[in-house]
Every structure is written in structure tokens, then in C-alpha cells.
Structure 1
């Protein structure tokens, strides 16, 4: 549930701090006062797109921060803990900072997060319905999801099993199609792979061989330079001839002199030891150099053999992989594909048998799912009908229509090929008739804007009792209604507020009167001619004045009396839901 909302330098808002309570809350104000700006800010916390245009003129960045109550045992709390954003004492803080460049930073409980992460947790926090969001009802593809929400855990579990089995079936059928390519294509592919496999096999590659060859090749290409350099180093240490003193002899003489001197000065003994160590290391190095020089002449043909082998491996690398290991891995992969292609007929038979088994297992599942849906649909029709009657649509008839899928993917049911998807075999569409004597038709053909808003409210009133979202947000969804319908909508929103937090932007005084909490949004112009948006929570006297304004624009005894009557009515509605 939304507990607080803090806004800095967003649009016309310089600074705004709002505290929210449980139940039904309305935001009212003149047209263009900035009511929807507040909902835009809430939308940012729920992962909606940010724009640099939202940053208030003269500010470097905008900041929106919201605090939400979270049940520590809820699915959201578990999700947050698994994602490393555990709530603290049942409280969740989300912030969004937008810069002048349009870039935004998101934080969840103080830790950097992504916009996509906000989008993942948004369905647990709040559900927003704008004036145009009613249009989702016009998309028949969404109706099955609405229906399934009412089916409870049993239907959800069955639907998940259908989805799993369906995608297993899709994968097996894809594999079968791949195998059953035309015989010519399969033969061509097999011929190519066998050539590649043989070419790699005949090379008799060893892991790491390419690196060893590169090292040996470098040595053989520079053998004269290596011999000259090592021989010169040996002469420097041993002496080139009898008349030349080498490093070893010079060190040996130095050791003798220091040894003699240390007989008179014991402090030189450590120097003597150091020189003896150096002399030992020089003699070791000379032995190593001598062994290197005595290796004998290099086989003149070795370089040619190494070059040929190196060129072969380079050719294979260009075709099959960057390293010998990659080439060998590719050989293993094409070996498996060769086996599959050579055994395509038997593999195809195995897949066909597996597909038949999956289809046979899927049939009772989709039939059971369809049966459960029809039971839920019958209950939904009855409850929506009751809600619509209350919402001043007494003559309306609401029907959940079922039809079978028409898809390439099919199951045989009762001798008929029936289309199937991850949702099962059902196409579901909501139909409505708003006038007596007319057959129910799709919502797109018969429902006006006001009627669509009431159908949406009826469905949300029913679904709110089973879904997990804590907060419902309505942005002028009551557009296009008035009179008795407005009173009915107000009463239903008040009832909805008994078990959900409901935030609603409205121009209807009837709806505003039904709320337990009332905020008024208004523009304020400073002496410097700077326009900002302010929000005040109204006390009962102020609510009376605001309702009077909403009723007629002018404060009169009649409008005040009517406003008081509406407030009393709203209190009665709320008392009925307690």
C-alpha cells in the first residue's frame, strides 16, 4: 500500500510531500490544475518511461520517492529478498531521479536498480487505470486473462501444467520438422558434415598443439640468432681466450680477496657469502648455456615440417574455430549431427511417438481447464450482471463467449482437430447488450465510453477480491457518466476502498463525496510569476466548499446544501462497507 509520495522539481511541482491512508482517496481540482502530474509521478515509481521534459524549468533534475507498506510474508517480500532488495520492517522505498538529459536513476531501498526491476515489482504494488486504459477491455485477447484471475489456485496450477506440456509439444514438433527436411537437403548437409569431420580427424589434432607449434616455429626461424646470443653470453662469463678474464674468473678472484680480508674484519663475511652465492649462480648459468650450445645442429627439414603443420592448423582455424580446442569441439558437435542425420528415420519415428504421447496427455488437461473456465465464466456473468445493475445499467446483459482456437497447432478431440495454445483450447470474449431485445455483441460494437468505464469498474470490483495488488489508481475513469450512474460508481469505489487502497482523480462531486480522504490540487502563481502546483488535504469544512465548487462553480446555499447531502451519503456508503 502506498504510504507516502515525495516529489521534487517535477513538471510544475517544486516540492510536494503527501501522506496516504488506507481506503478510498480522491484528488480533485480545476481542469489543468495538475492532478494527473501526481499520478504520472506514481507511474515513474512503477517503471513507466521517464522524459527530460518532466524536469521542472530551472532545475537540474527531478526526484520522485515513494514509500510502500509490504507484508513481510507476501510474494512481493519474497521476490524482493531473492533479488537482494529486502524490505525493512515491512516498508519499501522506491526512488527515481530524472536528469535534464532524460537519463534516470532508480533505487529500491537505497540500492541501485533498473527500470525493468521496477516494472517487475509494479504489479504487486499498484494497478493504474487511466481514461484510455478502459480500452484494454476492447482487446478480446485480454479477456481470457481476466477470467483466469478469478479461477483461483486450482485453475492457475492446471493452466501452468497445460502451458508446460504445450511448450514441450511445440519443441518436439519443431525438432521433427528439422529432421524431415527434404531428402536432398539432408543428403547435402550430411555430405558437407562428413567432409568436415574427416578433414579434422585426419589432422590428428592435440589440444594445445597450436601454441606448441607457434613456439617451436619461432625458435627454428631464429636459430642462428639464438646460437650467436647464447655463445656470446657464455664467452662473457668464461672468457673468450686465455688472455681474457671472464665474469666467473673475476668473481672467483673477488671471493678469494674478500675471504682473505674477512680474516681481519669479520664484518666482511656476509659480503663473502653473497659473492659466493653469485659465483655459484654464474657457474649454474654457464652449465645451462653449455648444455644449450651442445645440443647439436638443428635438423634442416624440421622447420619445413613445422611450417607445414602450422599452415594446416591455421587453415583449419580459419574454417572451424579460433583454437585447436574450438576445432575439436566443433568436430564433436558435427559428429552428433551426423549421427542424427544418419539415423533421421529412427529419430523421426521416436519424435512422432513422443508427440503422440504428449498430445494424448494434453487432451484431458485442456478439457479440464476449459470446463473449469466455463464454471468460472458462469459465476462471472452473474456477478458482473449484478454489478452493472447497481451501476445504473439494469438492462445490460453480460456474456462470456467461448469458442475453439483456430490454429496450426491442433489436438484431436472427439474426432475433430481443435486448435491449441499455451492457454489451452479456448478463445474467450466478453459480450454485452446494453438495450433490451438486442443480442450481446463484442464490447467494441456496443459500449460507449461511460458504459465501458462501468464495465471496467464492475470487473475490478470483482477481481479486487482475489488479486494481490494493494493499490488501485483511477485517472478520471468516470468520464462520460453522471446522475444516478455517478452515484452508483461513487458507491462502488467506496466499497472497493474497504479492502483495497483506491486513489482516484475525478471531476465528479458524487465520486469525491464517497472518498474517506480528499486532496485538492491547485495551481499557485508567485509574485515572480512562477507557476507551481500545490496539494492540500481537506478537512470536512474545506471538503464542503470543494464539493460545492464541483457542483456548480459558484458557492451558493443550494450548492452547499447539496454538497452536505452528498457528504452524508458518502459517509453512509463507507459505513455500509465496514
Structure 2
């Protein structure tokens, strides 16, 4: 609830501080004194706009307003503040706006600069303004649905539908995304198949490329290789070439025999052994050279090798740089192709899941619709009863809940169209709220709605503890008494006082019959400064005799003994039973 409102430089108000009570506070004063400026200040801190021309009369270059609200730590306003990065300390929220005569305004939440729309979001759960310029807040079907849900629909039913809708939306979005990707997936699948077919046709082996290049190198140098091998063999062992003569192997054999023929063991036996080892090593070389020559004779022709290398080079350019990379890409492509090919099955599966979730959401929406229809009927009856006591007998509010016929028409708020239709007098057409009532009638209709809402909520929470004062919302009514007098004015005041048992209520009124029901009263008056030749506005609370004098002024325009006695009697009788 609002604990303090401070205003500087707004219209004729140079500086003012008001501290409304937790129940009903009335703001009274002569016409033109500036009562509406206090409402402008509240609109200002609630993120509303203000005409810079209203600043000019104060002699300042900036108007400034700040509201201090007492809130619970788990209130929606604290949640909104937290989303804006603002921590609430000691259960108090400070909403501040400064608007210069020219230039951009500044918005602050608990001393931290925030966008103006943040103040608007935070204040939505703190303040409800019912003034001639504010009534259209509930004129839209969306706001009417929100109001009906907040009054008469079980939170569990709303939560159940919100969960069902969220699950449906998740699968619906996934399905739409997958369907949108199907054409791209088909193209990708065709590409993968072509690539895999190309790689499989070549069927490369891991070490094949290097081996083929070595073979090609040998074939390209075959003549030089053959000549070198032949010459080497001719020196080492001519018999390998079918020639006669002594080679290195034969000569070393003779040397060994000569050394063995010496009958002195050392060092000749050791030297003979060493020559035999050399002969064996040379024999191994001869065998290797002979084998290399045989391999050369059996290798494929150069054209076949070049053709194979060309095929492998094509793979390496596309998926290399090595054969191992090509084979790894092939394995990955096969797995990806399985996923891409499976997308039609995934689409069918998601379609079935989407339909199941849509059916579930539709059934949940039916329960939500039933709750709304029940609450709408009950709230309409209660509002009509209240209107009869507010000098609007014969007026009728119809809360129409129209169930949509197709599950495809569901949205985040269910499957209903909610509309508030108002009939101002018998025989008149039922028209949408906001286009069928005058400002005063609309204010009283909103009062009837708020009173009925409080009564409905109270009936629903019977047996629970009363709502603590720091959880109260602040309701502000302006021009609610337009066109009302006599007994209807008394009933209007009584109902405002009754609303104040549950919520904080601030009323701007010119009727004593309404003001007398208040727990607190604030008077706005003009103050003339002859020296400065200026007029400003004074805001002051009144109690005791001062309040009796103000009620007397409101009754008869003076403070005669008769009007004072009348004021005392009115205050004495304006007490809720």
C-alpha cells in the first residue's frame, strides 16, 4: 500500500507530502485547488505521461514525484523489481519520476535509474486508478479477461492450463522448425549419399596412397634401377645374372680358405671368421637385389597406378588432406545420413505428440472456461446489486464468456473470448465497456466491480486469515461521485469504506456524504501570497474540529453552527456496522 507521496513542482503544488492511511482516505477541497494534481503525481510514478505545460505554473523547471509503497517480499511488485535488477530492502519500494519542462524524464526504482515502462510494470500490482482518463484500462478484452481471472478463477486451474499450453507450444515450435528444415534435410541427404557413393566406389585403403606413389616412383626410374642392380650383382655375384666369372662373394670365399689353410690359429682364424661374416652380409645384399628385381618385374603398369592415384587425389581434395581424414568423414557422414533420413519419422512422431498435447490443452481449457463462466455470472449479479445502491438502478453488466469451437483457436490465455457489456438503462443496447457509460457512471461501475471482486474473493477464502495491510493494493477513485447525491451518495461512501476494509482506498470527492466515511481526510486548498503576487496549493491532513469544519464547508459552503452540527451528525452516522 502507499505509505507516502511526495510532490514538487506539479501544477500549482510547489511542495507537498501526504501520508494516506491504510484504509479509506479522502482528498477534498474547493474546485480548482489542485486535487487532481495528486492523482497526476500517482500517474506519474506509475509510468504515465504528464503534460509539460503543468510544470509552468510552479515557477520551477522540473516536476518531481515519489511514492513509497509497503510491500511483501513475495509480492508481484518485488518480482518485477527483481527482474529489473532492483533489490527491495525493508519491504519498501520507492517509485520516483522527474519530468523537466523540456527534455526527457527520469524514472527511478529504489534510487536506481530504470526505463519508464519498468515503473508501469511494477505499479500494476500496487495501484489501480479509476479516473475519467483511466477507465479504459479495463476496456480491452484482454484486460477484462485478466480481471475476471484474478477475481474468480482458481489459480490451480490457470496454472494447469498454462502448463498444458506451454508443453503444446514447445512441441508445436519444434515440429514447425523440423518441418521447415525438411527441404534442407532432403538436399543434405542427397549430398551425403552422392559423397558416400563416390568414396565407396574408390574404396581407399588406409596406407594405399603412399604405397602407390612409391611404386610409381620405382616404375618411373625402372631403367636406372635395373642397370644399377645388374651392375651391382655383376660385381658381387655374376652367377645371379647367368654369367661366368668371379665376383666379390667368390673372392672372399677364396680368401677365407687361404686363411684357414694357415696352421697358426691367431690372428688368422679370427680374420677368417670376420671375412665369413662379411661374405654372409654380402650374400644377403645379393639376395635382396635379386628379389627387388623380381618385384619390379611383377608391378602393375604405370598407367594403372596413375589412374588409381588420380582417384585418390580427388578424394583428398574433397575430404582430405589424408586418406585417414577421408575415411573418418565417411564414417561421420553415414551417421548423419541416418539422422537426416529419420526426420520424416520424427515429424510423424511429433505430429502425434502435438495432437495429444493439443487435446490435453483443449480439455484443460474447458475447465478454465467453466470457471470463467461461473465467475462471470456470479460477478455480474453482484455488480448489478451494487449498481442499484449507487443510483444506477436498471443498469446491467453482462460478463460474456464465449467458448471457441476449434482447438486450433486456443492461445496462451485459453479458448475463450471475454467481454464486459454494459447496459446503462433498461431497453438500451448492451455495448462494450467504455463506450456505453459517462465518466461518472463508469467510475461507479468500476467501484461496483471492485466491491464485487472483493466480496467474491472473500467468499472464496472463507476460513482463511484476513489479508494483512502491507499486502493491500491501493485503489484510487476520481469523479466516482459525479451525478450522485442524497441517499445514493451515502451508499457510495459506505461501499467505498467497505472496500477499504480489504484494500487501501483513496478517493477524490466533493461530497460530504462520501468524505464522512473516510478514516483519514486530506484537504487541498489555495494559498495566496500577496507579496509575491502568486497562488500555490497547500495539502494538509485534517482531524477533529478541522475535519468537522471541512465537512461543514462541503455541506453548505460555510461553517455556521447549523452546518457544523450537521457535519458532526454525518460523521457520527458514517460508521460501518
TM-score between the two structures when normalised by the length of structure 2: 0.63
Alignment of 1:506-521 (within 5 A): 506-521=509-524
Q: Secondary structure at the match of 2:15?
A: strand
Distance (Å, rounded) in 2 between the aligned partners of 1:182 and 1:426: 33
Q: Does 1:523 align with 2:513?
A: no
| 1:459 to 2:462 alignment | no
2:423–2:429: 8 Å Cα contact kept in structure 1?
Answer: yes
**1:270-289 C-alpha deviation (Å, 9 max, x unpaired):** xxxxxxxxxxxxxxxxxxxx
Is the Cα–Cα contact under 8 Å of residues 369 and 403 in structure 2 kept in the other structure?
no
Task: Decide which moves more: 4-13 or 357-366.
Answer: 4-13
Asked if the contact 2:148–2:375 (Cα under 8 Å) also holds between the matched residues in 1, the reply is yes
1:501 corresponds to which of 500, 504, 507: 504
1:143 equivalent in structure 2: 144
Residue 459 (structure 1) shift: 0.9
Relative to structure 1, is the Cα distance of residues 142 and 4 closer, same or farther in structure 2, using a 3 angstrom cutoff?
closer
Alignment of 1:532 onto 2:536: yes
CA shift in 2, pair 1:555/1:570, >3 Å: closer
SS in 2 for 1:124: coil
CA 42–133 in structure 1, closer or farther in 2 if over 3 Å, else same: closer
Instruction: State the Cα distance separating 1:439 from its structure 2 match.
Output: 8.0
Equivalence for 2:412: 422
The structure-2 alpha-carbon separation of the partners of 1:427 and 1:109, relative to structure 1 and needing over 3 Å to count, comes to closer
Deviation, structure 1 residue 87: 4.0
The count of residues paired between Structure 1 and Structure 2 equals 426
Which SS does the other structure have where 1:541 is aligned?
helix
Partner of 1:380: 379
Provide the C-alpha distance between the structure 2 equivalents of 1:126 and 1:338, rounded to a whole number of angstroms: 59
Q: Can you list the C-alpha shifts for 1:442-477, whole angstroms capped at 9, x where unaligned?
A: 546754444332221111113346495521112223
Q: CA deviation at 1:336?
A: 12
Residue 92 of structure 2 corresponds to 91
Q: Per the alignment, do residues 41 and 452 of structure 1 end up closer, same or farther by CA in structure 2, a change over 3 Å counting?
A: closer
Is the contact between residue 2 and residue 69 of structure 1 (CA under 8 Å) also seen in structure 2?
Answer: yes
Give secondary structure in 2 for the equivalent of 1:47: coil
- Is the 1:144–1:428 contact (alpha carbons within 8 Å) kept by the matching residues of 2? yes
Separation in structure 1 between the aligned mates of residue 7 and residue 336 of structure 2, nearest angstrom: 60
Q: 2:142, 2:6 → 1: CA distance?
A: 37
Q: Determine if the alignment matches structure 1 residue 479 to structure 2 residue 476.
A: no
Partner of 1:26: 26
Equivalence for 2:363: 364
The alpha-carbon deviation at position 194 of structure 1 amounts to: 5.6
- Distance in 2, matches of 1:521 and 1:571, equals 23
- Cα 1:564–1:494 change in 2 (3 A) is farther
Equivalence map 1:88-167=2 (5 Å): 88-151=89-152, 155-167=154-166
**Is 1:350 aligned to 2:349, yes or no?**
yes
How far has the Cα of 1:353 moved from its partner?
Answer: 1.0
Q: Which residue of 2 aligns with 1:190?
A: 187
Q: Quick check: 1:494–1:573 contact (8 Å CA) kept in 2?
A: no
> Quick check: 1:513–1:567 contact (8 Å CA) kept in 2?
no
2:48 equivalent in structure 1: 48
Could you list the runs of 5+ residues in structure 1 that have no partner in the other structure? 203-311, 313-334, 412-417
- State the alpha-carbon separation in 1 of the partners of residues 4 and 435 from structure 2: 41
> Relative to 1, partners in 2 of residues 1:532 and 1:340: Cα closer, same or farther, differing over 3 Å?
farther
Asked whether the 8 Å contact 1:190–1:341 carries over to 2, the reply is: no
Using the alignment, how far apart are the partners of 1:341 and 1:54 within structure 2? Answer: 66
Give the secondary structure class of the aligned counterpart of 1:480. Answer: coil
Structure 1 or 2, whichever has the larger Rg, is 2
State the shift of 1:81 in Å.
6.4
In 2, Cα distance between equivalents of 1:37 and 1:48: 13
| Alignment match, 1:227 | none
Pair 346,46 (structure 1): closer, same or farther in 2 beyond 3 Å: same
Per-residue deviation, 1:358: 0.9
Distance 1:452 1:100 in 2: 33
Asked if the contact 2:189/2:337 (under 8 Å) is kept, the reply is no
Secondary structure of 1:574 counterpart: coil
- In structure 2, relative to structure 1, the CA distance for the partners of 1:449 and 1:88 (3 Å cut) is closer
- Alpha carbons of structure 1 residues 485 and 77: separation in structure 2 relative to 1, 3 Å: same
Task: After TM superposition, give the deviation of residue 124 of structure 1 in Å.
Answer: 3.2
What SS does the corresponding residue of 2:575 show, helix, strand or coil? helix
Distance in 1, Cα, partners of 2:361 & 2:335: 31
Pick closer, same or farther for the CA change 1:46–1:138 going to 2, 3 Å.
closer
Instruction: Name the SS for the 1:20 alignment partner.
Output: coil
Question: Per-residue deviation at 1:180?
Answer: 5.2
Give the direction of change, closer, same or farther, for the CA distance of 1:6–1:433 in structure 2 (3 Å limit). closer
Residues 23-422 of structure 1: pairs in structure 2 closer than 5 A: 23-49=23-49, 52-53=52-53, 55=55, 58-72=59-73, 74=75, 76-77=77-78, 85-151=86-152, 155-170=154-169, 172-173=171-172, 176=175, 186=183, 190=187, 345-405=344-404, 410-411=406-407, 419-422=409-412
Q: Contact 1:147–1:373 (CA<8 Å) still a contact in 2?
A: yes
Distance 1:132 1:105, change over 3 A: closer
| Corresponding residue SS for 1:492 | helix
Shift in Å, 1:6: 2.1
